[in-house]
Structures are given as structure tokens and as C-alpha cells.
Amino acid sequence: MESRTQYIFDAFTDLRQRIAEHTPFDQAELAEEELDFLEKWDELTESIRKNDANYTFIAQEVLSRFIRCYANLVPLIKRELLWFVGGECLHFLGDEEIDLYQKLEDRLYELDTQEKPYAISEEITALRDTATSIH
């Protein structure tokens, strides 16, 4: 699995585990709406695992629905996940975040062209540290 796809898969897997600790997903019996949502989530993770070309569209739909329906759980989302899936999810990012993730894209492109290995999470941390030290 390509590093970006792996990062997205890991972020969705982590988020799924984290939301299970919060209402309404921590209930013994889930309402039909939550069951339907989690079923869509499972379809998404399987789509990512198979590297289906359309997984980003499903990811956009899942994240947008999550933000609309479970606003209290939005802080659990890794912000870069919104950037990586793009589309409507970009509307949930601020200008400073978009600037940061554009710099990330430039950095990842540079590393790819030089055929240097990297960990996306480490690159994000380094950019955030740089941005924090500037302000």
C-alpha cells in the first residue's frame, strides 16, 4: 500500500476505535442510523484496503456525514485526514491549515522525486513544529 493510502487507512482505523469510546457509539445497542454509518465506514476501510480508485469519494462522504451528524466527536479527527481525502472536506479546514498541508504536499513531492523514504506523520510533525516556532 502506498504511504499516503496507508496513512489514510491508519487514520480511519484509529478514528473508528476512538469513536467507539464515545456516545452514541459506546452504547450496547446502536440505533439504526449509527449501524448504517458504521457499515458505510466498514465499506470504506475495505475499499481503502483494496486500493479501490473511488475510495476517496467514499471517504469524503463518510467524513462529511460524521461532521454533520456527530459534531461533538469532530475533535477526534486528525485534521490532515480532511486534507488527504479532499473534496467537500477541505471546507472544514482553515486557511492556515490549508497552507500547512500545501507545504506538506510540496515536501512529500520533493522527497518522492529524490526517492527518499519518509513517514508522513513525521513530516507533519516537523512542519507543525516549524510553523509553531515561527509564530
DSSP, res 22:
S
Are 80 and 55 in contact, with CB atoms under 8 Å apart? no
What's the pLDDT tens digit per position in 75-118? 999 999 999 999 999 999 999 999 999 999 999 999 999 999 99
Q: Please, what is the end-to-end C-alpha distance for the chain in angstroms?
A: 36
Binned at pLDDT 50, 70 and 90, residue 3 comes out as confident
DSSP codes, 40-70: HHHHHHHHHHTT-TTHHHHHHHHHHHHHHH-
What's the pLDDT tens digit per position in 34-68? 999 999 999 999 999 999 988 999 999 999 999 99
Q: Who has greater pLDDT, 1 or 114?
A: 114
Q: Which of 95, 88, 18, 37 is nearest to 26 (CA)?
A: 18
Are 82 and 96 in contact, with CB atoms under 8 Å apart? no
Q: Which of 113, 5, 97, 118 is nearest to 51 (CA)?
A: 5
pTM for the structure as a whole: 0.89
Check pLDDT > 80 for residue 131: no
Dig out the grid coordinates for 22 from the structure.
Answer: 464515545
DSSP, res 88:
G
Check pLDDT > 90 for residue 125: yes
Domain boundaries, the chain: 1-90, 94-135
Q: Which amino acid is at 41?
A: W
